[in-house]
């Protein structure tokens, strides 16, 4: 969500928690992958991380774990076909496991952070397990909220464009 990029970039407390992650070239490659039709996988991950961080902070939960695991929750470069070819299960079941493996190459993960990443597809696939922590529950809910918001953005923009087009035509007719 490019329009909120300045919000998280200007939040020094948040950036201090995640800036080491955002220096990793492999993670930054997620910015080349289109995600939810409208955004990139990296921007989606930061969006989920930042919204989850603000909620965790508000409720005095582990905001560091939420911010970091939020950024890492979709840390995979494979497309749907490549994941299907692995024959290890559905896309929603497999990609959190790949994300954990990739995340462990750049930082040490706590049990809480692992749970956040592993369970973020809760309710969308079988066998993923119930989130153990409030922080995991926040990230899985925010992930769904962000996904819906991202998927519906092009449609909302189209509708907005049509409405203003009709508005212009009406103004001309009444002039």
Shortest reach from residue 125's CB to Fe ion, in Å:
10
Q: What three-state secondary structure class fits 160?
A: helix
Kindly give, in sequence order, each residue whose CB lies less than 8 Å from that of residue 153, ignoring residues fewer than 6 positions away.
38, 39
Residue 45 or 62 with smaller CB distance to Fe ion: 45
Query: What is the rounded distance in angstroms from the CA atom of residue 140 to the CA atom of residue 167?
Result: 39
**Residues 126-145 close enough to bind Fe ion by CB under 5 A:** 143
Residue 135 or 143 with smaller CB distance to Fe ion: 143
Contact letters (x/-) for Fe ion, 71-110, by CB under 5 A?
---x------------------------------------
Candidate ranges 16-24, 68-76, 100-108, 109-117; the one touching Fe ion (CB under 5 A): 68-76
Shortest reach from residue 109's CB to Fe ion, in Å:
16
Nearest CA to 120 out of 82, 92, 146 is that of 92
Number of residues that bind Fe ion (CB under 5 A): 2
Under rule CB under 5 A, residue 150 binds Fe ion = no
Query: What is the rounded distance in angstroms from the CA atom of residue 89 to the CA atom of residue 64?
Result: 31
Report CA torsion sign: 52, 54, 56, 61: positive
The first and second tokens of residue 8, run together, are: 């998280």
Shortest reach from residue 164's CB to Fe ion, in Å:
32
Binding footprint of Fe ion on the chain (CB under 5 A): 74, 143
């Amino acid at each position: 969500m490019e329009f909120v990029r300045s919000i998280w970039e200007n939040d020094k407390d948040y950036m201090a928690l995640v800036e080491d992650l955002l220096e990793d070239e492999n993670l930054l490659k997620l910015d080349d992958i289109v995600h939810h039709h409208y955004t990139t996988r990296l921007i989606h991950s930061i969006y989920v991380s930042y919204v989850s961080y603000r909620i965790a902070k508000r409720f005095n939960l582990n905001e560091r774990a939420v911010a970091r695991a939020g950024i890492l929750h979709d840390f995979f470069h494979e497309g749907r076909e490549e994941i299907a070819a692995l024959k290890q299960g559905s896309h929603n079941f497999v990609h959190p496991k790949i994300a954990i493996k990739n995340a462990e190459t750049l930082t040490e993960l706590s049990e809480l952070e692992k749970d956040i990443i592993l369970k973020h597809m809760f309710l969308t696939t079988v066998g993923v397990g119930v989130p153990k922590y409030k922080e995991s529950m926040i990230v899985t809910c925010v992930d769904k909220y962000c996904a819906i918001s991202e998927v519906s953005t092009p449609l909302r923009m189209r509708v907005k464009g049509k409405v203003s087009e009709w508005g212009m035509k009406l103004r001309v007719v009444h002039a």
